[in-house]
Structure 1
Amino acid sequence: MANQSSSYPILCASFNQDNSCFAIGTRDGFKIFDPNSGRLLYERAIGAFSIVEMLYRSSFLAIVGAGEQPSLSPRRLCLFNTETGTALKEVKELNFLTSILAVRVNKKRLIVILQEKAYIYDINSLVILDTIDTVPNLKGLCAFSPSLDGCFLALPASTVKGSVLVYNVMELNSHCEIDAHRSPLAAIVLSSNGMYIATASEQGTIIRVHLVSEATKSYSFRRGTYPSTISSLSFGPSLQLPDLLLATSSSGSVHVFYLGFAINQRSRRSISFLGSIIPDSVNDAFDPAHHHVLHNAVPAGVKSYVVIRKVDKVADTSSSDSLPCRASISIITYSGYFQEYILTINHKNESSWILEHEFNLLTVMA
């Protein structure tokens, strides 16, 4: 997630594909951390970077300069090896005509997002496989599922409404287009296995979840009544339906929607008269039962990047209505801090938040 503002000390932040480590870019260079211990794993002070993307826990990095030094152009993508401190193989870099706005990688593909194009490369040979012409995408908005079985890229399909183009980057064809919102998109995320996509519009009041294979709406959640800018969305890791969906907004609050509880609410409504005549999407959007909020997690207006790193089911046989869970939620603020919260949801759908640890990303020493 690259930062467009010059007011923050952190220019970008990203977790790797299994959330086992994360990277930040600053005006001095880039750093890689272990979120469990807070330990600084790698540091390179060679100038300002706007994009730093990892490939799991390998030595591979895709990095893009912020343009503050002549040698670190925002139009140049460098493939970097942390073990040798040099560019990979004979090909040191890929150069483009306009600024690189986002980069995504997995074990087979390298994705480069520009303002009006998306490039798909074979990550091993760096042969370009396809080019997608896109609508103007000034923020480089995109979502990517790293799974090779459901490897999708999601991009805005309109500048006037919240339509999403879902593209299969393994088969190199357009999978579907989803009309998710009336207003333009502000945030997109795909589940790690590519089964579900969540979206938020510039209004930021409703978050919708679609099943990618059928391009059908599964859930709608209301974040709030008043408009707010959604800065990040995150699904909890899962092999099937993710248990949790997280959203952060410009208000500084973290919103978590418990999809498992929504399923049970939906099944109970389906046997009632009211549930049989009111569509599930309408009920879900206004039903607060599955909505848990951590208010003032970060100061209002401070940009943040948040992920659900881990979700564990908690043994509890007192109720069969919903499965309680425990989630590790990591917050990176662009003002320079890392926070790890533990969210626990019990069998009554009651939640509690505990701050496990917090540290300053700019002062940690190796």
Structure 2
Amino acid sequence: MSNAREVLSVRFNQDFSCFSCSTESGVRIYNVNPLVEKINFGITTVGSVSKCEMLNRSNLLAIVSGGTRPKFPDNHLLIYDDLAKKFILDISFKSTVLSVRLKKDKLVVVLKSQIHIFSFPSPTQKLFTIFTRDNPKGLCEIGTLPNTERNILVYPGFKTGSVDIWEPHSMSKNLSSAKNRIDAHQTDVRCMVLNSTSTKLATASQRGTLIRIWDIIMKQQLLELRRGSDPAIISCLNFSKNSEYLCCCSDKETVHIFAVKDTQLNKRLSIKSKTLGSYASSQWGLTGFKVPQETAAECAFGENNSVIVICLDGSFYKYSFTPEGKNHREQYDIYLDCDDDEEFFI
């Protein structure tokens, strides 16, 4: 028998001011600062849900069913309008929907070997389909280049460890000329994220020891950061809003914070050794802190040099840090218990 409070996934919105929590009993939306439950859609409205994607702080939510009591098949993408209090869109696909990305004018739906891009929200019509290598994690990010309305799409390339980039001006039926490739890692890419201006891309591989940051325009590596020496499953990467820092969650229970702009802040080994090779010159995080992550978590930057971590066990952490590498826990909560007495089910 399933636990109604079991969390299946969590996901920040685009500016990290809110996050969605998909559970066996529906979907909850939380404000981050202060931590407050804003919306609770129960089992009768949405069923058990595996994924939920917010569109900023708007009334539109993208929902994919999952868990033990789904209301819809997992190959359907649903858009729920909280103002109208109803589903306004239902798109079916040939296989399970693995992830969804929303922008004010685009809807991106990721399947195991296809990515579908739609205009959004109205009219919603398919613009094109991309065929990809097997992408079981549904990796894909869409952004907008600064001072333009041009979208950019990144996703795992057919070559092992590579990332394909599609330039926004060529989002049309003829896509071959628009595709560029970054050879990011020697093993499959496990995690990726664009910064707020879509000019930088951070990637991590299945090995999980190194994080590389790339210039999207020049297709060149800017920085290599070391998470650790032991393999790890990296579940989340995120840039700060000004791209000065990068945070990283993994199954090693440590959240790492790296300096991206002033790399002199990052730690380095105090010894030099030819036998250690590039390891000896690695840049390590300027600071980090422990959270009990037996399962995947999401991390993101808050205000005033703070990092927010939301875990699948229902815990919420907020740590502040300084450029000198000091950190302090400011908040710990169980977000599933927030506003429990005022919980409502639609």
Shifted more, 93-102 versus 149-158: the winner is: 149-158
The separation in 2 between residues aligned to 1:169 and 1:83, in whole angstroms, is 32
The separation in 1 between residues aligned to 2:281 and 2:185, in whole angstroms, is 13
* 8 Å contact kept, 1:75–1:100: yes
Classify 1:9/1:168 alpha carbon distance in 2 versus 1 (closer, same or farther; 3 Å): farther
* 8 Å contact kept, 2:49–2:70: no
Q: C-alpha offsets along residues 267-306 of structure 1, whole Å, 9 cap, x if unaligned?
A: xxxxxxx9xxxxxxx5996134x53221x2224x322111
Question: Corresponding residue for 2:127?
Answer: 129
What displacement does 1:21 show? 1.1
Question: Which runs of 5 or more structure 2 residues have no equivalent in the other structure?
Answer: 267-271, 273-277
Q: C-alpha offsets along residues 237-267 of structure 1, whole Å, 9 cap, x if unaligned?
A: 12xxx100111111110111111221689xx
SS of structure 1 residue aligned to 2:305: strand
SS of structure 2 residue aligned to 1:181: coil
SS of structure 2 residue aligned to 1:136: coil
What displacement does 1:169 show? 5.1
The separation in 2 between residues aligned to 1:354 and 1:175, in whole angstroms, is 44
Classify 1:342/1:50 alpha carbon distance in 2 versus 1 (closer, same or farther; 3 Å): same
* 8 Å contact kept, 1:244–1:256: yes
Q: Return the match for 1:13 from 10, 14, 20.
A: 10
After the TM superposition, which residues 57-72 of structure 1 pair with which residues of structure 2 at under 5 Å, given as runs? 57-66=57-66, 68-69=68-69, 71-72=71-72
Structure possessing the higher relative contact order (Cα contacts under 8 Å, 6 or more residues apart):
2
Aligned residue type for 1:331: V
Q: Return the match for 2:319 from 336, 341, 349.
A: 341
Aligned residue type for 2:333: F
After the TM superposition, which residues 199-238 of structure 1 pair with which residues of structure 2 at under 5 Å, given as runs? 199-238=203-242
Classify 1:223/1:80 alpha carbon distance in 2 versus 1 (closer, same or farther; 3 Å): same
Classify 1:306/1:293 alpha carbon distance in 2 versus 1 (closer, same or farther; 3 Å): same
The separation in 1 between residues aligned to 2:137 and 2:161, in whole angstroms, is 15
Q: Return the match for 1:302 from 266, 288, 295.
A: 295
Q: What is the alpha-carbon root mean square deviation over aligned residues?
A: 2.5
What displacement does 1:75 show? 0.7
SS of structure 1 residue aligned to 2:68: coil
The separation in 2 between residues aligned to 1:70 and 1:51, in whole angstroms, is 12
Classify 1:146/1:11 alpha carbon distance in 2 versus 1 (closer, same or farther; 3 Å): farther
Q: Return the match for 2:307 from 329, 332, 335.
A: 329
Aligned residue type for 1:246: C
The separation in 1 between residues aligned to 2:92 and 2:6, in whole angstroms, is 26
Q: Return the match for 1:287 from 248, 258, 283.
A: 283
Aligned residue type for 1:286: S
Classify 1:62/1:131 alpha carbon distance in 2 versus 1 (closer, same or farther; 3 Å): same
* 8 Å contact kept, 1:220–1:285: no
SS of structure 2 residue aligned to 1:78: strand
TM-score, length-scaled by structure 1: 0.81
Question: Corresponding residue for 1:315?
Answer: none
After the TM superposition, which residues 130-169 of structure 1 pair with which residues of structure 2 at under 5 Å, given as runs? 130-145=128-143, 149=149, 151-158=151-158, 161-168=160-167
The separation in 1 between residues aligned to 2:252 and 2:129, in whole angstroms, is 37
Confirm whether residue 351 of structure 1 aligns to residue 325 of structure 2: yes
SS of structure 2 residue aligned to 1:141: coil
The separation in 2 between residues aligned to 1:284 and 1:201, in whole angstroms, is 20
SS of structure 2 residue aligned to 1:351: coil
SS of structure 2 residue aligned to 1:362: helix
Question: Which runs of 5 or more structure 1 residues have no equivalent in the other structure?
Answer: 1-5, 266-273, 275-281, 311-325
The separation in 2 between residues aligned to 1:303 and 1:167, in whole angstroms, is 29
After the TM superposition, which residues 309-324 of structure 1 pair with which residues of structure 2 at under 5 Å, given as runs? 309-310=302-303
The separation in 2 between residues aligned to 1:150 and 1:337, in whole angstroms, is 37
Aligned residue type for 1:305: E
The separation in 1 between residues aligned to 2:4 and 2:189, in whole angstroms, is 24
